[in-house]
Amino acid sequence: MTSTSFPDPRETRGSAEREADLMERLSRQVTHALQHSPAYQAAYAHLSIGPDGVASRAALAGLPVIRKHELLALQQQARQARPVSDDPRLRVFGGFATQGWGAAMPRAFASPGPIYEPDSLAADHWRMARAMHAAGFRQGELVHNSFSYHLVPAGAMMESGARALGCTVFPGGTGQTEQQLQAMLDLRPSAYVGTPSFLRILLEKAEDNATALPWLRTALVSGEACPPSLQAWFAERGIAAYQCYASADLGLIAYETSARQGLVVDEDVLVEIVRPGTGEPVPEGEVGEVVVTNFNADHPLLRFGTGDLSAVLPGPCPSGRSNTRLKGWMGRADQTTKVRGMFIHPGQVAEVARRLPGQPRVRLVVRGERADDQLVLQIAHPGPLNEELAAQCLQCVRDVTKLRADIEPVPPGQWANDGKVIVDERSYQ
């Protein structure tokens, strides 16, 4: 990469060119997964996928969403099967990885669960260099990396991106605040990667010791929220802190730019926003679950449900980058809760909507106090429901959830755009 404003010309290409490229890569990735991934061979066995694979967003929406808890379950099932497979692609990675132990997989990692993830020989396997460049990292700089190098891939993710930019990396890892601060005082890094909370701890420790880090000018933070107030706190100390949205399974998904208006989607993933509990894409601007398809041949993930809520921002980024922008993290899509001893989950709410005429927007609201749960089905409707539709709503809720509910129409203009399909308003005091 160079030090120009846009090291990759794809960042400013037209939407039609980008979409055509994504669809071509999508078709190849689906075909590759069907040929080399036992997990997708099983998941898509009931589908009729032609020789051209899947080459449109409408066709993509017809594929099932595989969520993180399902990936964990498939990995666990493979290790509990009898007989247990000797092939690590099956036994360890649940049939998703296309490479086994050896030179093609230099490392394997474990995220909480545990969910195991394979590394790759590909340079900048997790594609973090793009986010770092947008944050101001440049060739020839020293980067202090305070993400973990132990078990999880976070440290390796950031190191590979920094090295792809031509930076030197100090592997600080987590904890040991005093030792890390001493290393920063000795080595004088110009850039930091890690959580924003640990960066604040380091800076506060430096201030307590009557020292400063004036050479530290930029940071790429992730793993937790970095609100504008904290970004302003860093800026007061001469550090421009930028956020990125990434996961151990997928690598970089989206990243912040100098415009500070949302997160620009990475050029090497395909992102959808779907209604929680379903695989149905929502209209632009509506909050839903982030679903990502990657183009990693070694670990293909097609329609991978992150469980995170976000929404698409209209228009291009003022920085000049033309890809889709996300608002950022807006909560979790898994809104499962227990009502009168019974679990209800987003998929059930989606099923209620499917059974109603016109498939209206609906949500379940739980009210009351302890041991006095009251379930309410809210439905987007301009006025009172007629008796027939009200009765149909009540019956649908009872058929799907096995619970009784009241009905509450909400004018569409007053419907909260927060992605929630289950709202718990109970008092627990």
pLDDT of residue 277: 82
pLDDT of residue 216: 97
Pairing of strands 142-145, 168-171: parallel
Q: What is the mean pLDDT of residues 400-411?
A: 91
| CA 348 from centroid of its chain's CA atoms | 23
The answer as to whether 356 is a domain residue is: yes
Residue type, 180: Q
pLDDT of residue 428: 53
pLDDT tens profile 369-394: 655 688 999 999 988 889 999 999 99
Question: Which 3 state secondary structure label does DSSP give 351?
Answer: helix
pLDDT of residue 427: 66
Question: Which of 45-59, 128-142, 260-274 is least confident?
Answer: 45-59
The answer as to whether 375 is a domain residue is: yes
pLDDT over 60 (residue 188): yes
The answer as to whether 133 is a domain residue is: no
* Residue 376 belongs to domain with CATH number: 3.30.300.30
Query: What is the CB-side half-sphere exposure of residue 326 using CA atoms within 13 A?
Result: 28
Q: What is the mean pLDDT of residues 19-34?
A: 95
H-type alpha helices, 122-238? 129-134, 154-164, 177-187, 196-208, 228-235
The answer as to whether 379 is a domain residue is: yes
- pTM, entire model: 0.83
pLDDT over 60 (residue 429): no
Residue type, 215: W
Q: What is the mean pLDDT of residues 250-256?
A: 97
The answer as to whether 420 is a domain residue is: yes
The answer as to whether 378 is a domain residue is: yes
**pLDDT tier, 7 (very low <50, low <70, confident <90, very high otherwise):** confident
Contact yes or no for 241/136 (Cβ under 8 A): no
Q: What is the mean pLDDT of residues 74-94?
A: 93
Token pair 């009251």 in the structure block, residue: 374
Percent of the chain with pLDDT over 90: 75
C-alpha 62/C-alpha 328 separation (Å) is: 26
C-alpha 165/C-alpha 332 separation (Å) is: 33
CA dihedral 38, 44, 50, 55 (to 10 degrees): -100
pLDDT of residue 198: 92
Q: What is the mean pLDDT of residues 397-415?
A: 91
pLDDT of residue 262: 96
Nearest to 125 by CA among 102, 153, 146: 153
C-alpha 324/C-alpha 103 separation (Å) is: 36
pLDDT of residue 369: 65
Nearest to 234 by CA among 213, 249, 255, 253: 213
pLDDT tens profile 321-370: 999 999 998 887 777 787 876 778 888 898 999 999 999 999 999 998 65
Contact yes or no for 302/63 (Cβ under 8 A): yes
pLDDT over 50 (residue 2): no
Q: What is the DSSP letter of 63?
A: S
pLDDT over 50 (residue 1): no
Q: What is the mean pLDDT of residues 209-213?
A: 93
pLDDT of residue 3: 39
The answer as to whether 303 is a domain residue is: no
- Write out the residue range of the structural domain in which residue 368 sits: 337-424
pLDDT over 50 (residue 42): yes
- Mean pLDDT over the full length of the chain: 91
pLDDT of residue 224: 83
* Sign of torsion over alpha carbons 283, 285, 287, 291: positive
pLDDT tens profile 262-317: 999 999 999 999 998 889 999 999 999 999 999 999 999 999 999 889 999 999 99
Total count of domains within the chain = 1
Token pair 């649940």 in the structure block, residue: 94
Joined tokens for residue 280? 């149905």
Helix H, strand E, coil C: the string for 411-429 is CHHHCCCCCCCEEECCECC
C-alpha 256/C-alpha 262 separation (Å) is: 6
| CA 222 from centroid of its chain's CA atoms | 12
